[in-house]
């Protein structure tokens, strides 16, 4: 009986447990995820406006946006700002109160019309029977009343805007509108003020005459890209041109820092793209020069030097409107800003207005007036500027320039439709390239369908792998994206390939441009050193072909006997189309001087290699010198003691033991005196040592690298440091060789952010106890050896095109030398900077020598830098590097 009872109880317990578990499982199944809606749906918006006087009269319309209470931002109220701009334009044209129905000018100028002024009702009715009529009328007249009865003004707009102009005693309404009857139109200008009617009539006639005599050429002056600079900004010049063309621009003048270095390259791109576009370069304040050879922008210390340079090169030089120091000199024109409108409008002086960079949204532009039917050329562009046939277009439609041309554009902007049609603005075309896919998106913002043809222009170095769809039909307010597979040929590697996309509809065409920017098919260290019996030789291959796998061959030739390879190695690379793969070869070689040839995919590249004997003894160890928990690394031998910082992967000390001197300026571990300055991390920070410019401030500055001691003793010692910058990988390998003072820094960059397009490795030199005029620096330029010294009174800089890949410094008092060596044909140029304590970021005397090296993507890019420091003259250091095959020649 007990057994049966306990059995029953046990069964009940098991049953209850199963029921409970089942219930719990069912309850969990009843739960579901209900994600929140997007941020825009939860944003709280408040309209805010001001119409009045602060230190000037203005109207301000904004929208305050809150999200989660603590997030707050302000954006312009687009609709109100557009409406206000029309009121401002009317005031600028001295017709306050003018309101123009959009399409008024477009419709009026599209055909013949009869003009009648203050007609009687009968005269008006007789006139409209024969065709379109432009009538100027008083709303109090019989005809005027009849016409105004049919006009429906926006009665709420005035209450909504509350513009300060509405309170003026001079504000009198002038309404320009049109009435339709089938194909016939009556264009009405109505006002109680006859003088204003006369003014509007003159504006209409002048605008029509301007359009009959001139073509409008919109362009961007002073666009900035910094393609050749270590400072990072968004956008390649060709991408900027593409964006500009989509907005109707047909000319571009670039003026970013060092943009003038791309003058010939830009001309080549534009020739290859075969576009009806003019592109030029300059550097403020000089533009339009036939070339920019010899321009040293960091050593033009007088205003006359700029003037003389520009005029010697058949160029132009401009000045700020307000600059008392410029008054004694003769300039060709003004550099204008919005605050100079009064002078630009009224003084008979040519002017330019700068567009700026992508960061500023490329808002300002200029419109040039070129004789009807003439093909735009560089000469015609400059002719229009110097003849003041120009108008500057600023933010929100503000304009400045001669009233003849300015008023015409203002009338057309009030009309809107004429300009949209003229510049094809209702069709938007965007192009971009990802991997080997060209994506073109065409948007039709018309209220009707549009049919047309897509046109893709590929340079000879690029081919399409499939037919390109030509005919397109775009419904009203729709977009269509076409993706085309393209790929470069061998000739399209190691270059920028301009890709043009265009859409032609009716009698119009809109174009844009994208770039297929390719690395070398084979990337290697162009200058390298190692010890026998084996040298590690990295190679990166970008596969532009359909072959997978494919062979890669490395051959080594004695420098003096290049006929027969002394070493050959072969490997297969498995990178697929459009991808890259890194490889490592062990070159088994005796000591000597060599050329290394790498062949793959029908392409080959050659680099320079020095191999030394495996002798001498060096050691390396980790040490925390400033007790911050981050290790530094010491590399030393009988000649030098080198200290590496993991922060920034920099050489902070290079001490020549025979002279007990660190050749490098060093602030670390001290902090800069302005360390607490707001946003200090965004400026250059002077740790000192051997470091890099990778942006300015450099993205490397405060980054702590992952450091590994690879070899701590032997005939060489080595430390590797690696950092990831949000998908951009930078690796530096520091090697100290034998018992001599040769320090090697190998760079390997695998980057994806295109704005990081130049790296500037730089020793920051302070030879001897102090940096002074006793330090002489020697550079082997294509024009011969040049020597420079610091100037105690100011900073200055120079750019050099090198004949050989080295530069040297020598302290004449303390008899100590620095020599840096690198591949001569890899940098854009060598940049020298003699710093002065007046520098806003670095308040010290020192010298920098930076090879500005372009960064390639879609592959691993390699670069090497060699330091030799010793007692004695600089010639000895160059001789020692030459003995090791580390001096490259152009």
The domains of the chain are located at 80-192, 213-400+412-422, 427-517, 530-612, 618-883
Amino acid 48: pLDDT: 97
CB 206 within 8 A of CB 407: yes
d(CA 546, CA 552) in angstroms, rounded, equals 15
Q: Is 447 helix (H, G, I), strand (E, B) or coil?
A: coil
* Number of helices followed by number of strands (H, E) in the chain: 16, 54
Amino acid 465: pLDDT: 86
Amino acid 10: pLDDT: 55
Percent helix, strand and coil across the chain, each to the nearest 5: 20, 40, 35
Q: Do domains 213-400+412-422 and 530-612 have the same CATH topology?
A: no
Nearest CA-CA partner of 107 in 133, 86, 144: 133
Q: Is beta strand 861-871 parallel, antiparallel or unpaired with respect to 742-750?
A: antiparallel
Instruction: Show the tokens assigned to 744.
Output: 């090697």
Amino acid 4: pLDDT: 53
Amino acid 8: pLDDT: 53
* Alpha-carbon dihedral sign for residues 342, 345, 348, 353: positive
Burial class (CB within 10 angstroms; exposed 0-12, middle 13-18, buried 19+) of 111: exposed
Would you tell me the crossing angle of helices 263-273 and 237-246 to the nearest 10 degrees? 50
- Residues 85/90/96/100 CA torsion (nearest 10 deg): -100
Peptide bond into 285 cis (omega under 30): yes
Q: How many residues does the chain have?
A: 890
* Alpha-carbon dihedral sign for residues 10, 12, 13, 18: positive
CB 789 within 8 A of CB 773: yes
Angle at 888 between CA 887 and CA 890, to 5 degrees: 140
Amino acid 1: pLDDT: 47
CB 438 within 8 A of CB 499: yes
| Ramachandran region, residue 102 (left: φ > 0; alpha: ψ -120 to 50; beta: rest) | beta
Nearest CA-CA partner of 196 in 144, 142, 136: 136
d(CA 292, CA 288) in angstroms, rounded, equals 10
pLDDT, mean over the chain: 95
Instruction: List C-alpha distances in Å: 643 to 443, 633, 656.
Output: 58, 6, 12
CB 634 within 8 A of CB 641: yes
d(CA 282, CA 288) in angstroms, rounded, equals 7
Angle at 748 between CA 746 and CA 752, to 5 degrees: 155
Amino acid 111: pLDDT: 95
Q: Is beta strand 133-137 parallel, antiparallel or unpaired with respect to 114-117?
A: parallel
Contacts (Cβ under 8 Å, ≥6 apart) of 218: 247, 248, 249, 250, 365, 366, 367, 368, 393, 423
> Following DSSP, what letter does each residue of 334-378 receive, concatenated?
EE--GGGHHHHHHS---EE---B-GGGTT--EEEEEEETTPPP-H
CB 720 within 8 A of CB 665: no
Instruction: Show the tokens assigned to 752.
Output: 């994806």
d(CA 548, CA 447) in angstroms, rounded, equals 50
Nearest CA-CA partner of 512 in 848, 238, 140, 828: 238
Task: Please identify which residue in the block is written with the tokens 């010697």.
Answer: 312
Instruction: List C-alpha distances in Å: 413 to 82, 100, 105, 400, 796.
Output: 11, 10, 10, 14, 47
Angle at 672 between CA 670 and CA 675, to 5 degrees: 115
d(CA 314, CA 827) in angstroms, rounded, equals 29
Peptide bond into 108 cis (omega under 30): no
Sheet holding 816-821, edge to edge: 706-711, 716-725, 728-737, 742-750, 861-871, 816-821, 806-811, 775-781, 784-788
Which residues lie across from 43 on neighbouring strands? none
CATH superfamily, with its number, for domain 427-517: Immunoglobulins (2.60.40.10)
Beta strands in 78-192 (DSSP E): 98-100, 114-117, 133-137, 174-181, 184-190
What are the tens digits of pLDDT across the range 290-301? Answer: 999 999 999 999
CATH 3.40.50.12280 applies to domain 618-883: no
Angle at 562 between CA 558 and CA 563, to 5 degrees: 125
The DSSP output letter for 448 is S
Q: Is beta strand 796-800 parallel, antiparallel or unpaired with respect to 829-835?
A: antiparallel
Other C-beta atoms closer than 10 Å to the C-beta of 296 total: 14
CATH architecture observed for domain 213-400+412-422: Alpha-Beta Barrel (3.20)
d(CA 189, CA 172) in angstroms, rounded, equals 13
Those residues of the chain that have pLDDT short of 50 are 1-2, 14, 16-20, 22-23
Other C-beta atoms closer than 10 Å to the C-beta of 189 total: 23
Nearest CA-CA partner of 430 in 483, 393, 367: 483
Question: Cα 350 to chain center, whole Å?
Answer: 28
The backbone torsions φ and ψ at residue 563, rounded to the nearest 5 degrees and listed phi first, read -70, -35
Output the CATH code of domain 530-612. Answer: 2.60.40.10
Peptide bond into 533 cis (omega under 30): yes
Amino acid 13: pLDDT: 54
The backbone torsions φ and ψ at residue 10, rounded to the nearest 5 degrees and listed phi first, read -60, -45
Instruction: Show the tokens assigned to 742.
Output: 């040769």
d(CA 566, CA 787) in angstroms, rounded, equals 40
**Which letter, b or e, does each residue of 811-842 get, where b requires 16 or more Cβ atoms within 10 Å of its Cβ?**
beebebbbbbbbbbebbbbbbbbbbbeeeeeb
């Amino acid at each position: 009986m007990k057994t049966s009872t306990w059995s029953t109880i046990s069964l009940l317990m098991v049953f209850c447990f199963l029921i409970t578990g089942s219930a719990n499982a069912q309850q969990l199944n009843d739960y579901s995820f209900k994600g929140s809606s997007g941020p825009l749906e939860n944003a709280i918006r408040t309209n805010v406006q001001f119409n009045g006087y602060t230190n000037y009269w203005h109207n301000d319309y904004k929208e305050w946006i809150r999200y989660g209470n603590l997030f707050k931002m302000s954006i312009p109220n687009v609709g109100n700002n557009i409406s206000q701009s029309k009121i401002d334009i009317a005031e600028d044209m001295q017709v306050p109160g003018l309101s123009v129905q959009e399409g008024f000018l477009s419709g009026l100028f599209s055909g013949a019309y009869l003009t009648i002024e203050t007609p009687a009702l009968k005269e008006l009715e007789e006139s409209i029977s024969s065709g379109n009529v432009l009538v100027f009328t008083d709303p109090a007249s019989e005809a005027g009343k009849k016409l105004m009865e049919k006009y429906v003004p926006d009665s709420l707009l005035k209450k909504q805007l509350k513009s300060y102009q509405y309170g003026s005693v001079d504000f009198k309404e002038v309404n320009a509108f049109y009435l339709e009857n089938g194909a016939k139109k009556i264009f009405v200008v109505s006002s109680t003020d006859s003088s204003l009617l006369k003014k509007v009539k003159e504006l209409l006639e002048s605008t029509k005459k301007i359009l009959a005599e001139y073509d409008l050429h919109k362009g961007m002056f002073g666009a900035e890209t910094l393609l050749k600079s270590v400072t990072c900004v968004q956008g390649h010049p060709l991408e900027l041109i593409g964006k500009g063309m989509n907005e109707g621009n047909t000319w571009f003048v670039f003026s970013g820092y060092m943009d003038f270095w791309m003058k010939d390259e830009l001309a080549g791109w534009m020739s290859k793209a075969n576009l009806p576009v003019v592109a030029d370069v300059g550097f403020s304040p000089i533009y339009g020069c036939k070339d920019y050879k010899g321009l040293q922008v960091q050593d033009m210390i007088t205003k006359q030097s700029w003037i003389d340079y520009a005029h010697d090169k058949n160029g132009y030089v401009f000045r700020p409107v307000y600059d008392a120091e410029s008054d004694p000199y003769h300039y060709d024109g003004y550099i204008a800003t919005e605050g100079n409108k009064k002078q630009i409008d009224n003084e008979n002086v040519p002017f330019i207005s700068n567009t700026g960079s992508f960061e500023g949204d490329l808002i300002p532009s200029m419109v040039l007036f070129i004789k009807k039917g003439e093909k735009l050329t560089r000469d015609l562009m400059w002719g229009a500027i110097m003849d003041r046939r120009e108008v500057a277009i600023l933010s929100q439609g503000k304009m400045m320039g001669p009233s003849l041309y300015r008023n015409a554009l203002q009338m057309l902007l009030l009309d809107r439709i004429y300009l949209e049609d003229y510049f094809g603005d209702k069709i938007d075309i965007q192009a971009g390239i990802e991997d080997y896919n060209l994506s073109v998106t065409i948007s039709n913002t018309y209220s009707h369908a549009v049919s047309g043809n897509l046109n893709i222009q590929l340079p000879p170095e690029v081919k399409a792998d499939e037919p390109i769809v030509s005919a397109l039909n775009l419904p009203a307010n729709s977009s269509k994206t076409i993706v085309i597979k393209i790929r470069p040929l061998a000739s399209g590697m190691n270059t920028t390939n301009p890709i043009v996309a265009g859409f032609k509809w009716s009698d119009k065409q809109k174009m844009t441009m994208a770039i297929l920017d390719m690395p070398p098919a084979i990337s290697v260290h162009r200058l390298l050193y190692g010890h026998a019996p084996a040298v590690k030789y990295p190679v990166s291959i970008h596969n532009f072909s359909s072959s997978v796998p494919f062979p890669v061959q490395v051959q080594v030739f004695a420098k003096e006997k290049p006929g027969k390879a002394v070493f050959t190695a072969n490997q297969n690379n498995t990178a697929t189309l459009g991808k890259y793969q890194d490889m490592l070869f062990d070159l088994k070689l005796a000591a000597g001087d060599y050329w290394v040839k790498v062949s793959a995919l029908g392409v080959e590249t050659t680099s320079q290699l020095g191999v030394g004997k495996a002798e001498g003894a060096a050691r390396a160890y980790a040490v925390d010198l400033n007790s911050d928990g981050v290790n530094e690394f010491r590399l030393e031998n009988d000649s030098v003691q080198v200290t590496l910082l993991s922060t920034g992967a920099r050489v902070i000390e290079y001490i020549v033991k025979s002279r007990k001197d660190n050749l490098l300026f060093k602030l670390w571990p001290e902090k800069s005196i302005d360390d607490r300055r707001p946003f200090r991390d965004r400026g250059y920070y002077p740790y000192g040592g051997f470091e890099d410019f990778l942006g300015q401030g450099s993205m490397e500055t405060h980054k702590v690298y992952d450091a590994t001691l690879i070899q701590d003793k032997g005939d060489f010692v080595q430390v590797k440091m690696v950092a990831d910058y949000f998908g951009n990988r930078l690796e530096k390998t520091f090697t100290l060789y034998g018992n001599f003072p040769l320090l090697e820094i190998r760079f390997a960059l695998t980057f994806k952010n295109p704005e990081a397009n130049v790296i500037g490795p730089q020793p920051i030199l302070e030879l001897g106890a102090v940096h002074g005029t006793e330090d002489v620096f020697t550079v082997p330029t294509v024009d011969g050896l040049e020597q420079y010294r610091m100037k105690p009174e100011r900073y200055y800089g120079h750019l050099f095109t090198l004949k050989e890949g080295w530069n040297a410094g020598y302290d004449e008092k303390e008899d100590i030398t620095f020599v840096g060596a690198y591949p001569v044909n890899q940098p854009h140029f060598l940049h020298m900077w003699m710093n002065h304590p007046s520098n806003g970021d670095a308040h010290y005397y020192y010298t920098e020598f930076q090879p500005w090296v372009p960064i390639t993507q879609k592959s691993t890019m390699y670069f090497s830098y060699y330091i030799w420091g010793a007692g004695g003259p600089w010639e000895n250091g160059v001789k020692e590097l030459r003995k090791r095959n580390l001096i490259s020649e152009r």
